[in-house]
Amino acid sequence: SSPSSSWSNSSSSSSSSPPCRCSKPGQTCPTCHPPPSSPSVKLYLSTGFMSWRVLGEDLPLTGSFLWTIPSSCQQGSYQLQAKVKGKTSSSSSSSSSTSQVLSPTVNISIKDEMIIVAPAEGAEWVMGNFASIEWVCKGAQRDDMAISIGSRFFRLATIAENQPETGSLQWKVPETGIRAGWYFLSIHAASSRVSAKSGWIYIKERATHDEEIREETEQTDQNLEDDSDTTASAPPPPVFLMDSWLAPPANLNCSPAAADGREEGGEEGGRDETRRD
């Protein structure tokens, strides 16, 4: 993250230095009286008792400064302070550089950023199965992360302790001591005031053998219903009668009239042969 600090000061540059006595009248000796340096602002960050770190220097009297918080910064309470370096109108009578507090110290708080990557909102866990948990902590290097699981009213159990700031693990959902319902994960550090929670996850009981058979039967019945619906919409298959002549007739490729004439001619020929006999 990159917080911004701003400040302002109405002081202007100092007046000209008094003339030097060791030079000609009307001139100034650069050795005895060097020209005053233009004032600038220096930003400090308190890192402990009587310990300050410089965040920025040679900054204008009025302006802003963008500071990127390093990832190695320990979370906690800090103080910011701006000081004016160089001569100002209030210190023009002095020949040496001065330092003025431009503004009172400002208290700030730096916190870690913790994120639970997995499980996702609405995930389902089954008792007795392994579940995947993944987390990320954007902050100082840590090895004291703790992960716990709880419901809306109480914390159920601690899943793991002394974990790194970024990692993952496989947790076997217990089959006893837990009820089916909605739960969430919580991650925090022992010395941290920051914690993160996952979305709601649902834990359900493992299906028994009878339940598995019932589910398989229901699935089979559903598949049969789907097949029957498909069969009903298809055209009916051809029907063959018992003791029927299945071979194609000889006159299959002839027209019906020709076939009838041929059959009649055959019958007449038979009659003629009978008469000859």
Show me where the domains of the chain are located.
4-110, 113-204
Instruction: Express each pLDDT in 160-186 by its tens digit.
Output: 998 888 899 999 999 888 889 999 999
| pLDDT for residue 256 | 55
Segment 227-235 shows an average pLDDT of 68
Three-state DSSP string of 112-162: CEEEEEECCCCCEEECCCEEEEEEEEECCCCCCEEEEEECCCCEEEEEEEE
Cβ contact 151:197 at 8 Å: no
- Rounded to two decimals, the pTM is 0.45
> DSSP labels for 219-259?
HHHHHHHHHHHHHHHSPPPP---TT---SPPTTTTS-HHHH
Q: Rounded CA gap, 94 and 23, in Å? A: 20
Maximum average pLDDT range among 38-47, 112-121, 212-221: 112-121
Looking at domain 113-204, which of 1.10.287.70, 2.60.40.10, 2.40.50.140, 3.40.50.620 is its CATH number?
Answer: 2.60.40.10
| pLDDT for residue 15 | 45
CA distances for 276 relative to 262, 266, 268, angstroms: 21, 16, 12
Region of residue 14 (left: phi > 0; alpha: psi -120 to 50; beta: else): beta
